[in-house]
Structure 1
Amino acid sequence: MFDTRTAGHRGPVSDDAEPSSTAADPAVGERSRWRVAAGLVGPAFVASVAYIDPGNFATNFSAGAKYGYTLIWVVVVANVMAMLVQYQSAKVGVVTGRDLPELCRERFPRTASTLLWVQAEVVAMATDIAEFVGAAIGLNLLFGVPLLPAGLITAVVAFVILGLEQHGRRRFELVVVALLALVLSGFLYDLASVGAHASAVAGGLVPHFAGADSVVLAAGIVGATVMPHVVYLHSALTKNLSPFVNDRERRSVLRVQRLDVVVALGLAGVINVVMLVVAAAVFSGLSGQHADSIVAAHAGLAELAGGGTAVAFAVALLASGLSSSSVGTYAGQVVMAGYLRRQVPLFVRRGVTMLPALVVLGLGLPLTSTLVVSQVLLSFGVPFALVPLTMLSRRADVMGPHANRATTTALMSAVAATIITLNAYLLYAVLH
């Protein structure tokens, strides 16, 4: 699988090099290969955090409360799309040693790359709204912290988590995975508490809608699932992943990345489905007051399913907001460095992108509605990441022998077309 002689250095390895004692012992060699493979796992788990951010809480709980199990299939389809997209991003990083913003700057006209950067910054602000608002609500529900100070606390914690990356990629990844585990544990507890109707869940896997409003929510679910900023980020996480010296090793790294994506995004998909199922099981058929906001959903869970269920929900929400805000800041740095070739201090970067979120918290705007709107805005930003990724990953002058085949390009194009079509319908529905 891996030539373990190359681990830890970038120098060439001759094919006729003398075998080491490790290579002579098959058992030791196998353990070494597994250790190398384990060291390559992690980028997709960091990326997966963006797929269970507080925006997903808003869209999934709204979908479950209003339409029961109807839109489960949208969550599943969106997650399958995310797997394909994130692997393509990881592949670009591994093969080229560049992240997607860097490639866009190098390969596209200056005007096009500038426009892509501007929209990426707008998307970053919309992302921060969901992350900061969600974490602030979590702090408020658990500890009674007022929303605006809770948003500022979120910023501080995000800086601390992100600072771990300066001391090594693995520390940052482990903290993010721990927060991801908190989110999963919280919702598994909730699911065990409220139960679910198996036949209704199965029915929700059959593609159908329940009127125009359900299509709007479906677009929000896609926007909350296929996240444009993390499409950029994943390529940055893998571009310096392994010091491979030949194409065989590069292919081995890509195999590990495929597994990383399937496991991490599969886990995120399970969490999203469980969110919707919990909301459907508790709130479907009840009056809107029980789930017309995240705060009301928390209160409704406490009233209808018990205080422990509500606490688990709030803990999951807080863990989601803290982890995704850290990952969002990281993605913003990647975007600006790639498109502009300049590093902006984290405090400046975070201050600019979190301003809209703090305005939302300070003015007391409807929080859940704001979260849903932010996810719809993200859905509009997805094609601006997917189209360049699709164009670049099919080019032999960029990807060499790893350029996508026609089938993969067609699938990527279909994903982009589906999202663009949903957005067009959404715009039509809003204007009419």
Structure 2
Amino acid sequence: MTKSLEEVNQSVATQHKKTGFRKILAFLGPAYLVSVGYMDPGNWATDIAGGSQFGYSLLWVLLMSNLMALLLQSLSARLGIVTQRDLAQASRETYSKYINYILYFLAEIAIAACDLAEVLGMAIGINLLFGIPLIEGVLITVLDTFLLLFLINKGIRKMEAFIIALVAIIGFSFVFEMIFAEPQMDQIVAGLVPSIPNSAALYIAIGIIGATVMPHNLYLHSSLVQTRKFDRSKAGIKQALKYNLIDSTIALNLAFFVNAAILILAAATFYKNGMFEVAEIQDAHQFLEPLLGTKWAPVLFAVALIAAGQSSTVTGTLAGQIIMEGYLHLRIQPWVRRIMTRLIAIVPAVVVITIYGESVTGKLLIFSQVILSLQLGFAIIPLIHFVSDKSKMNGFHINKITQIAAWIIASIIVSLNIKLVYDEIVGWLDSSENPVALWVTVVPLAIAFLVLLFYIIINPFVAKIKSRMHNHSPHALNIQFSEQKIKHHHQIAISVDFSQADETALNNAFKLGGIEAQYTLIHIVETVNALFYGHETDDHETSIDEKLLKEYQELLSSKGFKIETELGFGKPHKVIPEIINKGHFDVLVMGTHGHTGIKDLIFGTTVNQLRHKISIPLFIVKK
């Protein structure tokens, strides 16, 4: 298994810091990149609508959403810190190949939907600030395609500094907006007390909660925390968890401040003046100057909107890279990845705006949030399962109270998002001129996603029950044991995948053969190029794998072991038997983690395919 965001993985040293403050400072950063997803343009519409219609009364919903997000992001960080796997990699190692393809497809749709909101937000901001038409503003957003490539080459700390600068711009803009608006502090405090004025407020509240937790943020956070290099002892992991919780708390509270400021601004201007129907970002910008009496209010509003869109688009692209590499084990050039994601967002935006005009941007933003809502459960549910698993978390699994809290939060968020999606589909059916088309496309698709969601929820519980049933010991066995001679193996093949499972596999192999045996390390390259071109493959991953295999050989040879290596290309369950049957091996040792094929040993598929193709014993080592 390759490292998550390999070019910056463990690139920030946290050890040997002399003071506690410097130690904390070394860990601060990942959560700020995550926090921008909680203040992206997709959140602005719900905050403006909530403030203009119901004043300060829905502030408590933002606070509750922030607490939910804090718990879920801390779980995501825990997964990355403890397992050194991001959420996509953990899913790939856990679920079957076809389920992972579906989860990857849904995650990509969510990334595109999020990017759509960011494209529209930036384009609206450019339009409001410079008067550039919306279509041209959308096309201008293509120019940031290479920004991520530039930043990633400068290192993760430079990228974090860039994002923090944008967050600071957003924050300072709204500090001045608050000064201009002069909100009523007693009503702000009253708004933190839970209340739902009417059914319309409930709908807005659902929208606020639904737009708060972004699925791609959970993938992103579990990867970004791995950019820190720290002591992997239990004490070191505990310290990393503590400092990352501090990082998340500070960053997400800043995001809460921005969202609360948008809602307070709408309440102190539009609601106060009886303008209850302001929901479009453009309308909010238009009315700020006459209501607040300063030309700087709309300018700062537009600047903050551009900063929110730009910061979100950078982190969204990172999340897309993490998802593609994690689920598919596929790497492409960052600029190609960026253009693909941006075109998927720009094309529908340009087409819809061209046909229906600029007035539909609000509907497009809502549509992007509905798409995100559909995918949210497929990120939250696996995350809770993973961090609750004792074997995966090596003793750092969450306790029962945290599990209950996480499941309650997941139930609330997923239920509200299902309601949001249901309401939108019913609305489309009622207003559509051709509802039959929706009944044969959108409705079955939504039902299929719902069935898949229940499968994701139930499957790990069923797997545990089956495991207990199959592992129980029968009673009253009367077995006669005879003395056996120990057979020493002289030719041992070991499948390696450069994961932590290799250590266990190698040590067990050495127990079988000792120092006298001949060992052959087998690694299979599974890239798309490897599947098509076989031994002629010459890509980035192949060169890395060759280097790692050579390092294994040199390390083990220095310990006195006789080591040879074999690099294969393609599907492990096909290539490994070919290598084994060409050699004269006594036994094959395999681990249960790593490549798709080896991972499938958990489900029994690869071992069944492989054991019938080789004529020697297969020794399976479980990490």
State the secondary structure of the residue aligned to 1:185. Answer: helix
The aligned counterpart of 2:509 is none
State the secondary structure of the residue aligned to 2:229. Answer: coil
The aligned counterpart of 1:314 is 302
Question: How far apart, CA to CA, are the structure 2 residues paired with 1:298 and 1:144?
Answer: 13
- 1:164-313 to structure 2, matched below 5 A, reads 164-284=151-271, 286=273, 291-305=278-292, 306-313=294-301
Question: How far apart, CA to CA, are the structure 2 residues paired with 1:144 and 1:331?
Answer: 32
Which residue of 127, 134, 139 corresponds with 2:114? 127
1:354-377 per-position Cα deviation (integer Å, ceiling 9, x unaligned): 433343444435112322332233
The one-letter code of the counterpart of 1:241 is R
- 1:90-101 to structure 2, matched below 5 A, reads 90-101=77-88
Tell me if the contact between 2:51 and 2:265 (Cα under 8 Å) persists in the aligned partners.
Answer: yes
Deviation of 1:333 (Å): 1.1
Deviation of 1:288 (Å): 5.0
The aligned counterpart of 1:348 is 340
- 1:366-385 to structure 2, matched below 5 A, reads 366-385=360-379
Which residue of 81, 89, 92 corresponds with 1:102? 89
The aligned counterpart of 1:426 is 420
Deviation of 1:117 (Å): 1.2
State the secondary structure of the residue aligned to 2:77. Answer: helix
The one-letter code of the counterpart of 1:73 is W
Give the TM-score, by structure 1 length: 0.89
The one-letter code of the counterpart of 1:381 is Q
After TM superposition, the runs of 4+ consecutive aligned structure 1 residues lying more than 4 A away are: 7-10, 285-290, 427-430
Distance 1:233 1:308, change over 3 A: same
Question: How far apart, CA to CA, are the structure 2 residues paired with 1:287 and 1:107?
Answer: 54
Which residue of 43, 47, 62 corresponds with 1:75? 62
Which residue of 387, 394, 400 corresponds with 2:394? 400
The aligned counterpart of 2:349 is 357
State the secondary structure of the residue aligned to 2:395. Answer: helix
Deviation of 1:165 (Å): 1.4
- 1:139-150 to structure 2, matched below 5 A, reads 139-150=126-137
The one-letter code of the counterpart of 1:315 is V
Question: How far apart, CA to CA, are the structure 1 residues paired with 2:260 and 2:44?
Answer: 11
Question: How far apart, CA to CA, are the structure 2 residues paired with 1:215 and 1:358?
Answer: 33
The one-letter code of the counterpart of 1:382 is L
Tell me if the contact between 2:46 and 2:279 (Cα under 8 Å) persists in the aligned partners.
Answer: no
Q: CA RMSD in A?
A: 2.2
Which residue of 311, 315, 333 corresponds with 1:327? 315
The one-letter code of the counterpart of 2:393 is M
Question: How far apart, CA to CA, are the structure 1 residues paired with 2:250 and 2:283?
Answer: 33
The one-letter code of the counterpart of 2:111 is A
Tell me which moved more, 100-109 or 216-225.
216-225
Tell me which moved more, 201-210 or 316-325.
201-210
State the secondary structure of the residue aligned to 2:57. Answer: coil
Deviation of 1:406 (Å): 1.0
1:129-173 per-position Cα deviation (integer Å, ceiling 9, x unaligned): 211100001011111122122122223225314531122100111
Deviation of 1:118 (Å): 1.5
Tell me which moved more, 148-157 or 57-66.
148-157
Which residue of 141, 157, 175 corresponds with 2:144? 157
Whose strand proportion is higher, 1 or 2? 2
Question: How far apart, CA to CA, are the structure 2 residues paired with 1:320 and 1:78?
Answer: 19
The one-letter code of the counterpart of 2:326 is G
The aligned counterpart of 2:52 is 65
Deviation of 1:402 (Å): 0.5
Tell me which moved more, 342-351 or 126-135.
342-351
Deviation of 1:409 (Å): 1.0
Segments of structure 1 that go 5 or more residues without pairing to the other structure are 1-6, 14-21, 23-28
Tell me which moved more, 145-154 or 132-141.
145-154
The one-letter code of the counterpart of 1:336 is M
Tell me if the contact between 2:79 and 2:387 (Cα under 8 Å) persists in the aligned partners.
Answer: yes
1:417 and 2:404 matched: no
The one-letter code of the counterpart of 1:300 is F
Distance 1:343 1:355, change over 3 A: farther
1:219-241 per-position Cα deviation (integer Å, ceiling 9, x unaligned): 22122211111111111101242
Segments of structure 2 that go 5 or more residues without pairing to the other structure are 1-9, 428-623
1:64-103 per-position Cα deviation (integer Å, ceiling 9, x unaligned): 1111112111111111111111111111111111100010
Question: How far apart, CA to CA, are the structure 2 residues paired with 1:153 and 1:172?
Answer: 22
Tell me which moved more, 282-291 or 109-118.
282-291
The one-letter code of the counterpart of 2:100 is S
1:352-399 per-position Cα deviation (integer Å, ceiling 9, x unaligned): 344333434444351123223322332332211110000001111111
Question: How far apart, CA to CA, are the structure 2 residues paired with 1:106 and 1:213?
Answer: 43
The one-letter code of the counterpart of 1:334 is I
Question: How far apart, CA to CA, are the structure 2 residues paired with 1:295 and 1:218?
Answer: 22
Distance 1:107 1:136, change over 3 A: same
Which gives a bigger RCO, structure 1 or 2 (Cα 8 Å, sep 6+)?
1
State the secondary structure of the residue aligned to 2:228. Answer: coil
Distance 1:56 1:36, change over 3 A: same
Tell me if the contact between 2:12 and 2:26 (Cα under 8 Å) persists in the aligned partners.
Answer: no
Larger CA Rg, structure 1 vs 2: 2
Question: How far apart, CA to CA, are the structure 2 residues paired with 1:208 and 1:261?
Answer: 28
Deviation of 1:343 (Å): 1.9
Distance 1:82 1:168, change over 3 A: same
State the secondary structure of the residue aligned to 1:196. Answer: coil
Tell me if the contact between 1:83 and 1:261 (Cα under 8 Å) persists in the aligned partners.
Answer: yes
State the secondary structure of the residue aligned to 1:63. Answer: helix
Tell me if the contact between 1:162 and 1:172 (Cα under 8 Å) persists in the aligned partners.
Answer: no
Distance 1:108 1:164, change over 3 A: same
State the secondary structure of the residue aligned to 2:299. Answer: helix
Tell me if the contact between 1:228 and 1:385 (Cα under 8 Å) persists in the aligned partners.
Answer: yes
Question: How far apart, CA to CA, are the structure 2 residues paired with 1:98 and 1:63?
Answer: 38
Question: How far apart, CA to CA, are the structure 1 residues paired with 2:142 and 2:391?
Answer: 41
Distance 1:328 1:8, change over 3 A: closer
- Aligned-pair identity in percent equals 35
Question: How far apart, CA to CA, are the structure 2 residues paired with 1:216 and 1:369?
Answer: 16
Tell me if the contact between 1:58 and 1:368 (Cα under 8 Å) persists in the aligned partners.
Answer: yes
Tell me which moved more, 268-277 or 236-245.
236-245
